[in-house]
Amino acid sequence: SQQGEEDPQALSIQEGENATMNCSYKTSINNLQWYRQNSGRGLVHLILIRSNEREKHSGRLRVTLDTSKKSSSLLITASRAADTASYFCATVLRGSARQLTFGSGTQLTVLP
């Protein structure tokens, strides 16, 4: 079953704008990860944030984690047309066999 819900389901922005995607989950986690998927392709790991971390940066990506609200956000700054893809959050549940449970995904379209 899916652990996470993401919103928005779809997001369309102009190149240069920032894109924010949110992910909510239901149970305690060990860590939360964000992945990107281009249409019809495999997934690319973007960033991992542990349950004891609140914010993490990687290039134009900024991820926050609020364990009290069981939510995370992914911010892509200065978006480019090449950022067009689906973005998924995935959680590793505390006490699990480190399996990933994926959210529903956000389809991001960056218009040139």
Partner 1 sequence: GAVVSQHPSWVICKSGTSVKIECRSLDFQATTMFWYRQFPKQSLMLMATSNEGSKATYEQGVEKDKFLINHASLTLSTLTVTSAHPEDSSFYICSARVSGGIQETQYFGPGTRLLVL
Contact residues toward partner 1 (CB under 8 A) are 2, 30-31, 33, 35, 40-45, 48, 88, 92, 97-105, 107
Nearer to partner 1, 21 or 92 (CB): 92
Query: Based on CB atoms, which residue is closest to partner 1, 2 or 18?
Result: 2
Pick the closer one to partner 1 by CB: 61 or 77.
61
Provide, rounded to whole angstroms, the least separation between the CB of residue 8 and partner 1.
Answer: 14
The closest alpha carbon to 63, from 32, 100, 91, belongs to: 32
Give the nearer residue to partner 1 in terms of CB position, either 14 or 96: 96
From the CB of 44, what's the least distance to partner 1, in Å? 7
* CA–CA dist 86, 81 (Å, integer): 13
CB of 16 to partner 1, least distance (A): 27
Distance CA 22, CA 7 (A): 5
